Structure 1
Amino acid sequence: MFKVTFFSAKPYDISFFNKNTLSDKFQFDFLETHLGPHIVNAVDDGSFAVCAFVNDKLTSEVIGVLAKKNVKVIALRCAGFNNVDLNAARQYGIRVCRVPAYSPEAVAEHAVAMLLTLNRKTHKAYNRVREQNFSLNGLLGFNLHGKTVGVIGTGKIGKAFCKIMAGFGCRVVAYDMVPDAELASLCVAYLSFNEVLQQADILSLHCPLTAENEYLINADTIRMMKPGVSIINTSRGGLINTNDVIDALKLGQIAYLGIDVYEQEEKLFFKDLSANIIPDDTIQRLMSFPNVLVTGHQAFFTQEAMAQIADVTLNSIDLLSKGSEPDAAVMLT
């Protein structure tokens, strides 16, 4: 029986992995702490695989220790892999796999939910009505129908988002290095990156974080956008320069901002800090704006997505333990 050591494990991870049909093939060790140099030595020498999440730090140092402990597989239960030194994994002969698409509709639908919440102010209306205040003052929104929605990245999640927004009657424009032929034939006009920024009333980010696109949204690119643009980010926090966005919010260049990810989220997200004083002045400033909505990296969090994450992750580890190969899209090394 192969042992799998989980990091950043929450009760819902434990539940979905334990009830997966492949669970009886493995011995699970669930650790709540995130993976990094401070805890990597807690991995037993008998662990065949380490299962990590978005805020675990798989640096060259960490991977070197895992190699010494004879770990054969790093299984990411997420799509993004910017937190993994893939060159180090190749150097040490450790296979790295991921879940490239776990219910992309889940993330796309959350992006739409954030946009609608900000626009129609349903979160404010909910609190107001509970206090028996039925006034409509301050709740004015705008129609999505007829607006131009810009989408950066049209992979599986971006594609699902495009289709939803087209269903609202929006004009959808997009930028992707590899345009999707189906979207282009149905509802999406592919433009250059700058043209998308210039034309969008609403901008939604659905691209991975790479060294090339870090701080994709910054003071320079914000200046290209329409005054009063709405920005939604359910991809990776590092795509946005938070300080530049705050300046644009103060000037009114950005009318609404919805983020499910944050560039310093590993210190905050997936934790209950309700009894703590949060020292991060940047996130505190962001949350002070009435036109900003922050959620704690929950876009993926549906029953369907969690079940698929467990299934794909365990299936990949199972195949690798037998000397077989999962689908190419799953494998990173």
Structure 2
Amino acid sequence: MEEISLTPEEVAIRLKIAKNTVYELIKRGDLPAYRVGRKIRVDLKDVEAYKKQGKKVELTLEDTAPVPGLTREVVPRQTINTANEIHDSRELVICGQDVLLDILTRHLERHPHGTRAFRHYVGSFPGLLALYQENVDMAAIHLWDGDTGVYNIPYVRRLLPGIPAMIIHLACRMQGFYVAKGNPKNIKDWHDLTRRDIRFINREKGSGTRVLLDEKLRLLGLDRRLINGYHVEGPSHLAIASAVARGDADVGLGNEKVSMQVRGIEFVPLQKEHYELVMKKEDIHKPCFQAVLEILQSREFKKELEGLGDYDLNETGKIVAEI
């Protein structure tokens, strides 16, 4: 017999509760749910099983305590936005992969006007797209424009059309090649990637590191088809450095910090990059967004980052642009 699936609205009618309460039950894991495309569905048998448990469901979204360890990826925000929102406005979702964002979220939880923040570990392009689609609140990016030599501003203008935005500086980092200890193949610059004896491992499409590579190839007139391993991808700086350390590749591109964390790796510096945080201008006066600015400009936050090394923090917390 074919199982019957219900929308959250139909579940609310059967349980005689508010639709927002249904989303909260899903969020808490009390009511199993799944996605069909962009829609949430609940099997009828699971609704009936919940009813038999005799649980009290007279709760509201505002009164419910956060569930430890919950991330937005359990019930993706894009599937429940606007009318179907279970997002607590006191919480933030921040895109980006650098460890400094972990430190930022920890400080944010302790700030008097702060909040709990969820991390979404994606690259720069997907982060900006998620911000444009109103699925996240902030996106950390490092996107270099080869024509202007400017980081981030040109891309924010293109990918957030018509949306006033602010760019706040986080840190400068050094990008370069990961090579084996001693650099046995003497890899020094971008042209070396096209050598026949070199095996490369790339970052995924949409990452700031991938954008840097492709822009450099374009400006130097280098054919990416000549790069052995151009289509072999790794999801993070750490994955790239580890592949080189294992001998699966001769060279990869990433930031200097990771090279300090992986044994058997040397770093060939190439370019200083600007890592920055993008948020919508309409949000800047909200207490939790103000808290983020205060944290980024605080001595306490910068001092903790100084202990990690490989960050230029001279302009951390500075508003780079209002677009």
Relative to total residues, which structure has the larger strand share, 1 or 2?
2
Q: Normalising by the residue count of structure 2, what TM-score does the alignment of the two structures yield?
A: 0.33
**Bigger RCO of structures 1 and 2 (CA < 8 A, at least 6 apart):** 2
